[in-house]
Structure 1
């Protein structure tokens, strides 16, 4: 892959040549489907879910480090963990909100904290960002961090680690987060519209992920974040009535589930769980719901309707939740390591996450 100055890119990690592939070396405990391993011999179309976390073909001077704050701010991770736990204890829905906030940050020109900037014309003020939450959690963490280690820990790093800790609090996996991201100084409202909003087709989604250095497996695995969280009814009501001008509901929607949604979603502003079965638990039931035609968003259910992604859905649904957890950790690491050269080279460590330092 040729990296230009405008492209977001995956950054190598200083302390390890590359994270290990998420893989169970005990053959007896490998997840199986119909008696075969997911990496089946003789099937060129079978997806391999054991994927490296990072790309290997980038310059060695583009680095993040697991020990980046070990001397400059050794309490950084404990501060983040403490405040995320406090906020999620008060409102469990914030866990999913922090995950979503991190995705919206990284998916728009890389993980540079640009989604946190709050000024006229910023990504945060865009229509696509209206339902984003969790900003106050990051601000709270940053205020404490500035007391402990002034001008040291970036908002982009805080958000990345906070999304990990939020996942763990709801039963999801833990993964090591490399640090050293800089906070960007630019945030443009129209860029927020680049993030998928729930109506895109699979081709569009794959192209979007590929533009960020991610692949089709990352698409399906990261969509599994919808095992927790909610969406507004307005994001899916078009599936219930006169779908695509047919005068009927979306045929890929289970009829009983559709009837439930019609009762639940009388108003577009109402919220509904993304996972109708275990909405408060981080597990692989999201994928089982897709098999049962119970994906809330069109982009969710399309993962099971498209032959490029449905085998991956089956693999994640039929294996134990621990298998999905491992794969999620891999893809979240890949997501968190999308950086933009301009943000790194000309970035800063904000003292307040909602504003660039030049405003103070």
Structure 2
């Protein structure tokens, strides 16, 4: 319950209803509570926010994503990643789209982020249809959902009504999870945004790619064995080294969800169980007891209540899409997504 919601209800807590004297007074109290709740709800995002101001908003974004997907299917996971990297820095406010020196887009964690052209294309079409109405942040959230649907995953209802942020700083990307971070550190970062351990495991369950400079796990990681990180299955090490040659680091990409990069499924969790997690931070989800239990539930391990990845992913990403939401008079609706008005 938000602070605003608590504030609106405070006048009614502790009231002796018997002393209010009449059913009319009770009705008035009830009516005021309903009005207060409605006002607070109106301050946030909601499904169908643009149904009156721009009825075709969602269909325009959907058709734009479909058009780009037909020519390049890899844009689907790219748009999902774009959504993650936007929301985890100053909230879901499209600040990652802003061009300029030292903006979020220029920070090392975001150098591999793609899909900007899809958002720009959708924005141009929306501005022609209903200028100044649909934010770039809403477009990102809708495009992420539409991209997942194109990857044959179930649909979910996207709350809209975000406004665009007016600040974008590369230094703020420290809130993004790094590829060497412990599970405890990952939990703290997620908890700071109101997300729990299950959200953490669920949302990292669909990765796409990383720069091969992260292949440090394959060479001189230990002084024993073959020099690779011992949490990597030995049979997997030669395959990774072929993709990440020691003298060619930083020049290639490696798919994180090996064998399923363009499909939306739970195979990522099987990779963790089999010692085939590419990122160190991912593989640690299997070595940490609390996160491993959630991974096992996605894998249907006997004796544990199973989790449906597609259903839980929809729930977690809706929670994520409401991180640091700017609404009302906060922020702005950008005319173009790459620049502040």
Q: 1:173 and 1:114 mapped to 2: Cα distance?
A: 28
Task: Please point out which of 67, 70, 76 is paired with 2:51.
Answer: 70
TM-score by length of 1: 0.79
Q: Structure 1: which 5+ residue stretches go unaligned?
A: 5-55
The residue aligned with 2:330 is 346
Q: 1:254 and 1:135 mapped to 2: Cα distance?
A: 36
Instruction: Write out per-residue CA displacement over residues 236-294 of structure 1, whole angstroms, 9 at most, x where no aligned residue.
Output: x1111121566721111011111100111122221111122222211111101111010
Q: 1:175 and 1:321 mapped to 2: Cα distance?
A: 20
Q: 2:63 and 2:42 mapped to 1: Cα distance?
A: 33
The residue aligned with 1:175 is 156
TM-score by length of 2: 0.83
Structure 2 counterparts to residues 316-335 of structure 1, below 5 A: 316-318=298-300, 323-335=308-320
Q: Are residues 1:143 and 2:127 paired?
A: no
Instruction: Write out per-residue CA displacement over residues 61-119 of structure 1, whole angstroms, 9 at most, x where no aligned residue.
Output: 53212121111111001100001111122111111111111111100121011111111
The residue aligned with 2:195 is 214
Runs of 4+ in 1 over 4 A off after TM superposition: 1-4, 58-61, 244-247, 319-322
Judge conservation of contact 1:283–1:321 (CA < 8 Å) in 2: no
Q: 1:180 and 1:81 mapped to 2: Cα distance?
A: 17
Q: Structure 2: which 5+ residue stretches go unaligned?
A: 5-36
Q: 1:279 and 1:137 mapped to 2: Cα distance?
A: 20
SS of the residue 2:153 aligns to: coil
Task: Please point out which of 221, 229, 232 is paired with 1:253.
Answer: 232
Q: 1:354 and 1:207 mapped to 2: Cα distance?
A: 31
Q: Highest CA radius of gyration, 1 or 2? A: 2
Q: Are residues 1:223 and 2:204 paired?
A: yes
Judge conservation of contact 1:252–1:293 (CA < 8 Å) in 2: yes
SS of the residue 2:254 aligns to: strand
Larger fraction in helix: 2
The residue aligned with 1:32 is none
